[in-house]
Amino acid sequence: MQTLPRGDRNIKAFYCVLFDQNGMLSKLDGTIYFFGDDGSIVEYEPDMANYCTVLGEAAIADTQAIMDKIRGGAAAIACSRLQEVA
Q: Kindly report, residue by residue over 58-82, the tens digit of the pLDDT.
A: 888 888 888 888 888 878 877 877 7
Pairing of strands 31-36, 52-57: unpaired
Q: What is the model's pLDDT at position 16?
A: 94
What is the reported pLDDT for 8? 58
Which pLDDT does position 38 carry in this prediction?
92
pLDDT at 1: 67
Burial 27-39 (b: 16+ CB within 10 A, else e): eeeeebbbeeeee
What's the whole-model pTM score? 0.67
DSSP 8-state secondary structure symbol assigned to residue 49: G
Residues of the chain whose pLDDT is less than 50? Answer: none
Is 25 within 8 Å of 13 (Cβ atoms)? yes
Do 51 and 19 meet the contact criterion of CB atoms below 8 Å apart?
yes
